[in-house]
Every structure is written in structure tokens, then in C-alpha cells.
Structure 1
């Protein structure tokens, strides 16, 4: 009996306030109970997050989203960005933006910035297969604040993105049926908010392992109202909760513990690496899962197949 009580106490400590000992390992995490977890920075390195750290009141102005920067890449400037400033028409005319091209928007995650790995991977992949306006959203100031502050401001960052794309299309030309929002981790939640605040006008929204801590029951979480077609790629944060939140949800390798990964952060970042690969090759095919158990065991038996990811803006599923 004494051994049982001691074991129960240890479980409580691990699930509660003890810092996880292995950098990047979130196998301990229990929603609503764990205080600490690891998040990925812009290059996929583990960053320790304290879910009890108070929100920074100085960062609570809803206009913080207006601090976003928008970096444009095209085939004419594939590696050096041009900054388009919301409200400054001359910044559009001075850039290589063309309203006749599709618009691809990338939103990095927590602790990231415009130079984060996801941006270069997706930008180069898209420009290799399609003549597009690729817009990287740099929201580094809020992304570098503590996690709860970033979460609380995510809807405002998303609203600002939606307002910017609306202004860009109205001013420089464009078609909502050629708009594709993509976001990784907390950036996936922001991309969802960006689409929702435009009334779900983007033709496609892709959430790359949208971060789940503090989002399971959050009314601002990414969902089907974010766009005309919302696709979610789960690669790790489904371990504790595996919600179907998009029009189509993909669970590669069961949606957790990706092959070749020793930590949850590695599995988490695999979402945008797999997506970048599908943009170039469109080679990963998913099969319909009749139950969530089939998805998690990677043994789906449905008759419908659908390619995961890819660059097709008007994709359906």
C-alpha cells in the first residue's frame, strides 16, 4: 500500500509542477494539469514554457497585431523579401506583387520569426512549382513574449492578417479563391483566426499540427469556419487529444511519434517538413479512417483516398 501511495504521488508531481527532464519531450503533458511543456522555436529547438506564468499586461493592447510585418517573396525575389506595409499603397506598387497570382500566406509559430525554418522551406517549395505571391507573416514581438501572452493575443494577430489580406486584394488585386493560409503550431491557430475574421473567405487553410495546450476548449481555435476548405495535419499534439477539427484531418504515422524522431518536438516540426515535401511532389496519400482508433493505430480501412498537403489551392476533400 505504501508503494502505491508513493507511486501516485510521483505521477501527480510529473503531471503537475515538475519541469520535464528531457528537452523536447512532452510525453508527460496532461491538459489542465501540467504546468510545464516544451514548445519549438523557429528552428525546431525546444523552448520550455510555463503555463502558469502571468500574462504580460503591457502586451494586451488589441492593436498589437498591427505590429505584424508582411514579407513578400515571388519568383522575381525568391530569397530576399520585399516588405508590404498595411495602408501604404506605394509599398505594393514598389514590390513584385501581382494580383493575378495565387496568394500563399505563412504564419510561423511561438518563439519564431520571419526567418524561421518553416518560411524558407515552404516559400522555396511553392515557388518551385507555382508562380505565386508568398507572404511570410513576421509576428516576432508577440511570439517572443511568454506563452500565455502569445495565446491571448493570437486572435488579434489573426485579425490583423485578415485585415491586411483584405486590404491587399482590394488595393493591389487578387481573388479570395486563390488565397491559401498556412500556419504551424500556434501559428496554425492564428491562421485559423485570420480566415475566420474574413468570414471564411480563403479558399484553403492548412493547420500544421496546430498547438493544443490551452486550445482544446478555446472558442478561438482553428476550425472549419476558417476557410472554404480547412485541412489539418497532426504529427504530435494529438497524443493527449485527437480532435477532428478541419474538413479533413490527416494523421500521418498515427498522428504522433514520427519515425526517426526521439522527442515530441521533432514529431511536432515534422508537420511542416512533410507539408513542404508534398508541395513539391504531391506523393503522400491518406486513406479514410472509419474510427479515431483506426487513425491512431495507422490502420485505416475506408475506401476513400485523398492526397495530403500539396500546392493545389482549390483542393477539396
Structure 2
């Protein structure tokens, strides 16, 4: 499989998605966590390992941040009760996990903004899930194929915290792009309870199928699953696969992104909106539409009560599965426009 890395400057000269079909090839631009675009043949079966081997149970890193250690992480290993007991982890506090996407990872690049938002909001245990050794490959297909393995390890970690005394009702997981799909994989694999909430932040679309819910984010992966869809049908998964599914600005062409040919700006905005929503000052009110066709037609006919995107805590009660919500945002911070 041939991979060509583009900077955004170069990629912006090319329309996306690029669906060049030549024999069995299907080339599309896919973003990594750092804003670089890669031209990937998503039909290729050539998954030859081009990076160091990755074993999730060994290589996924869990970093704990609390108000007592907001910037210096404490490393916690699965089933290490002594390590957890000697940390600032508190079973009485809400616990949040944040998962990065392709080519993300590391202390500074693993959800720092969301981590800080929670810590500023209150007493939270915030874990960043660093699978950088698995995601840090030029081979998108290889990274995608590691999603279930990483999700299994995260599920084991949630079970471990539950054994230690943390109720599943205090566990929330959010993930951006491939990280959103990892969150779903984790929710499917816990054995001691059901994760309370999952938020897919423009969960990755390439190589994930609506017809294969066992291998993508699904509304049954937690008691409440929310999706925030900002680059629908290109880099993000287009369909409403959660309990509540939010399409800011129709899910495409985000204000402030200009001519976002690659989709990277819009794709990243989902995380930005989630960060802002955690601050109670910012309310992202959204109206309920009849379904995805309303979003595609850009004609939302109100069909139920309004709801807010994101926030802390997330909206109480899942509502009806697959419900679709529309909202507009500002082009710069503050993005929220208040209740609807």
C-alpha cells in the first residue's frame, strides 16, 4: 500500500474525499491527530507492518489527572491495586476517559484540552488513554485494525476500577475520530457492568460500516451514547448511531473553517465544542429533527423537545435511539449560542 503524506497546505489544493477507483483501488484523504492528511487506498489488503510491533495490553498507557495533579500525570497499570491506592484516584468522584485518534498520543497530545476542562469544572478522575504506539503509524488501515484490541484493554481497565470500588455509573468515555470507535469497542467488552456514557467526537468514518455494528460505535455500548458529527460522510461517520446525534451546522462546512476542502478543520471542531460545553456557561441548545434526511436536505422540521449538546453531566435520559439534533454555532469561541 502506498501512502503519501500531505500537509494541510498541500491537501487544500485537492478536493476531498478523493475516490479514485482504478481496478480495486479507492484512494481517500484521511487525517491524523496532528492535522496532516494522508492519501490512503482504503481497499488495499496490504497491511504489512511498517512500525514497531504493538501489543495493547502492554503498550496502552493510562495517565491519571486530578485537581491534586492537574498537569503531572500519575501512571496506572491494569490490576495494580497498590499503584492505584497510592495515587490521587477517588472512587467517589466521577471518572472520565479521553481517547485520541490516528497518530495521536503522548502526554501533551492526548486530550489535554478536555482533561483541563473537566478539572476546571470539578473533582474528576480524568484518564487519558494513550495508544500512540498503535496509532502512530503511517498505515491508517493498520491503526484502524487495532481499535478493538485497544478497546478491549480499556474495558479491562474499567473492570479493574470497578473491582477497586468505582461504580460503572461514574464512568464516562469520549474519543475523537478513531478514538470514538475505540470508545465503542471498550463499551462492548466490559464484563462487570455497563459504562454510563460514551461520546463519539466525529467518530472515524473510513473503514467503518453501518452494516457492521459489532465493529463500530453503537448505541448499546453504554447506557447513553452521544455523537457529535462535524464532518459527516468524509472523515466522520455520517449516520446517527448513538442515542442522541448532534449535527452542528448540518454536520459539514463548519463556520470559521473557511474552504475546508480536506475536512480536517471541521473534523477537529467536535472536540472543541465538547471542551467548551463542559463549562456550564456555554450551552449548545439543539432542536430535534425528523431524521438524517432533514440534515441532508438542510431542512430541520422540529419533531420533539430541544436538547443540549455535550455538557457535564450529559443530558439525563437517552431519549429515543437514533434521534437527530441540529444546532448552529459561532465561527469562533465562544461557539455556543445558548438554549433553543
**TM-score between the two structures when normalised by the length of structure 1:** 0.85
Please list the CA deviations of residues 3-40 of structure 1 after superposition, one character each: whole Å capped at 9, or x if unmatched.
Answer: xxxxxxxxxxxxxx999995266623449976333333
Equivalence for 1:286: 286
Contact 1:74–1:131 (Cα < 8 Å) also in 2 = yes
Equivalence for 1:5: none
More helix by percentage: 1
Q: Distance in 2 between matches of 1:254 and 1:242?
A: 11
Q: Distance in 2 between matches of 1:75 and 1:44?
A: 30
The answer for unaligned runs of 5 or more in structure 1 is: 1-16
Q: Secondary structure at the match of 2:127?
A: strand
Equivalence for 1:42: 33
Q: 1:189 to 1:65 in 2, by over 3 A?
A: farther
Contact 1:18–1:35 (Cα < 8 Å) also in 2 = no
Pairing partner for 2:233 from 213, 235, 238: 238
Q: 1:135 to 1:115 in 2, by over 3 A?
A: same
Q: 1:254 to 1:166 in 2, by over 3 A?
A: same
* Greater relative contact order (Cα < 8 A, sep 6+): 1
Q: Within 5 Å, which residues of 2 pair with 1:155-304?
A: 155-171=148-164, 173-198=165-190, 201-216=194-209, 217-218=211-212, 219-239=214-234, 242-261=238-257, 262-263=259-260, 264-280=263-279, 281-302=281-302, 303-304=304-305
Q: Distance in 1 between matches of 2:77 and 2:274?
A: 28
Q: Distance in 1 between matches of 2:204 and 2:301?
A: 28
Report how many residues are paired.
Answer: 300
Q: Distance in 2 between matches of 1:86 and 1:79?
A: 22
Q: 1:114 to 1:19 in 2, by over 3 A?
A: closer
RMSD of aligned Cα (Å)? 2.8
**TM-score between the two structures when normalised by the length of structure 2:** 0.80
Q: Distance in 1 between matches of 2:57 and 2:215?
A: 15
Equivalence for 2:332: none
Q: 1:80 to 1:47 in 2, by over 3 A?
A: farther
Q: 1:202 to 1:313 in 2, by over 3 A?
A: farther
Q: Secondary structure at the match of 1:37?
A: strand
More strand by percentage: 2
Equivalence for 1:23: 11
The answer for unaligned runs of 5 or more in structure 2 is: 319-340
